[in-house]
Amino acid sequence: MARVLRNALTAAVASETPTRPGEIHLRLDHVTKRFGETPAVDDISFEVPRGSFATLLGPSGCGKTTTLRMIAGFYDPDKGDIVLGGRRINDLPAHRRGAAMVFQDYALFPHMSVEDNVGYGLRVSGVAKDERDRRVRETLEFVGLGALGDRWPNQLSGGQQQRVAVGRALVLEPQILLLDEPLSNLDAKLRVQLRWELRALQQRLGMTFVYVTHDQDEALSLSDWIAVMNAGKVEQAGTPWEIYYHPRTSFLADFVGAVNLVPGTVREVRGDEVVVAFGERTVTVRRPSGLALAAGREVRLCVRPEALALRPPAADPDGFRLPGIVARRAFLGDLMRYWVTVDGREWIVDQPDPGAAADFDGPVTVAVKPERIHVIAE
């Protein structure tokens, strides 16, 4: 199946445009969509390379679904262009875009068996019965539902329904697969398992996926590329690594995981380094790219809890050290999370593998490596 799909895809791609590594497959250019007065999607632009797993991440109501539905052709943008495979598709009706969609609620047809659901797209495009049956069978095998072809959707578990929905879209060998929170209706354990299955599937097929989620763990673990959206805008787009360690705004830093955001003031800029004062202390950190800094500028120091470590109060200097007092802590299984009061501010510190070390309590030292501190504007 993987081979079949891949061959078909390569053929399709070859006949259209020669594939270049890193070629842009999907481009949104200043796209705006309003419902009434307030824009649901506000002048967004981004590019998705061919064959990548691209994720739109953001809180509920930020415009992710609206964006995806514009790509699918269910909404017309008020402004801007949507370009797929080098072709502007704004005026192409949904059923001719070659963009299959997997819905949050799966949208399986309740009056059709699993086989008929998966074969529906092929039937519509007039594929002969023999060929159709063969491809449906292969696809069902591929998504691990080989034996369930003659079941009805209501006889399947949530996870199985989700696989049928994915299979139903994949069987058409679409140019691009759009997925709107496909895992959000499943329980936590299955969600994590299907996450890996989806990622493996995408890599085997080399297909472009545009994935929508509000779950930052999901986005970070699945994606080649993430666009974080807020209030109808793309706040930042980049690799999961960039998004996590070099967020551009405090909204972003906060949205993709627990973070310490400490207000400070720029004292001095020295080449690649910048000296920032916070409270009574100063720290010298790497100068962030793409941010114009001058002495006197208000900034925030952004540092992830796992990049900090606790030491006994009189420990040797190790990078930068802050004296603090443990305010409270929470055992989270794989780590112990401490809230430590330093100069009247609470810092979050994560200690990995809590079973291997003694707990901290009372006065401690918070050790931080300056290279793990990231400066953001504000």
Ligand X SMILES: Nc1ncnc2c1ncn2[C@@H]1O[C@H](COP(=O)(O)OP(=O)(O)O)[C@@H](O)[C@H]1O
Q: Please, what is the minimum distance in Å from the beta carbon of residue 284 to other proteins?
A: 53
Q: Please, what is the minimum distance in Å from the beta carbon of residue 250 to ligand X?
A: 20
Q: Is 320 in the site for other proteins (CB under 8 A)?
A: no
Total residues interacting with ligand X, rule: CB under 6 A? 10
Q: Please, what is the minimum distance in Å from the beta carbon of residue 179 to ligand X?
A: 12
Token pair 């006065």 is at which residue?
363
Q: Please, what is the minimum distance in Å from the beta carbon of residue 244 to ligand X?
A: 20
**Residue 302: CB atoms within 10 Å:** 26
Q: Indicate which of ligand X, Mg ion, other proteins, none lies near residue 15 (CB less than 5 to 8 Å, by partner kind).
A: none
Look up residue 332 and give its two tokens.
């989270």
Q: How many helices (H) and strands (E) does the chain have?
A: 9, 20
For residues 164 and 111, the answer to whether their CB atoms sit within 8 Å is no
User: What's the rounded Cα separation, in Å, for the pair 332 and 328?
Assistant: 13
Three-state SS at 247: coil
Q: Indicate which of ligand X, other proteins, Mg ion, none lies near residue 13 (CB less than 5 to 8 Å, by partner kind).
A: none
Total residues interacting with Mg ion, rule: CB under 5 A? 1
DSSP characters over 153-192? GGGS-HHHHHHHHHHHHHTT--SEEEEESTTTTS-HHHHH
Handedness of CA 242, 246, 247, 249 (dihedral sign): negative
- Angle of helix 129-142 relative to helix 2-16, nearest 10 degrees, comes to 110
Among 1, 5, 13, 40, binds ligand X (CB under 6 A): 40
User: What's the rounded Cα separation, in Å, for the pair 206 and 12?
Assistant: 13
For residues 53 and 225, the answer to whether their CB atoms sit within 8 Å is yes
Scanning 46-54, 59-67, 126-134, 347-355 for contacts with ligand X by CB under 6 A, the matching segment is 59-67
Give the 3-state secondary structure percentages of the chain, helix then strand then coil, rounded to 5. 30, 35, 35
Q: Is 65 in the site for ligand X (CB under 6 A)?
A: yes
Q: Is 73 in the site for ligand X (CB under 6 A)?
A: no
Q: Within positions 96 to 125, which residues make up the interface with other proteins, using CB under 8 A?
A: 96, 99-101, 103-111, 120-121, 124-125
**Residue 69: CB atoms within 10 Å:** 19
Scanning 63-71, 261-269, 271-279, 314-322 for contacts with ligand X by CB under 6 A, the matching segment is 63-71
Identity of the residue, 58 or 121, whose beta carbon is nearer to ligand X in the bound complex: 58
Alpha helices in 248-345 (DSSP H): 250-255
For residues 24 and 47, the answer to whether their CB atoms sit within 8 Å is yes
Among 10, 35, 88, 131, binds ligand X (CB under 6 A): 35
C-alpha triplet 22, 26, 30: angle, nearest 5°: 120
Q: Indicate which of Mg ion, ligand X, other proteins, none lies near residue 86 (CB less than 5 to 8 Å, by partner kind).
A: none
Q: Is 221 in the site for other proteins (CB under 8 A)?
A: no
Among 72, 140, 283, 349, binds other proteins (CB under 8 A): 72
Total residues interacting with other proteins, rule: CB under 8 A? 36
Site residues (CB under 6 A) for ligand X?
35, 40, 58, 60-66
Site residues (CB under 8 A) for other proteins?
72-74, 93-96, 99-101, 103-111, 120-121, 124-125, 152-156, 158, 161, 165, 168-169, 172, 178, 185
Site residues (CB under 5 A) for Mg ion?
65
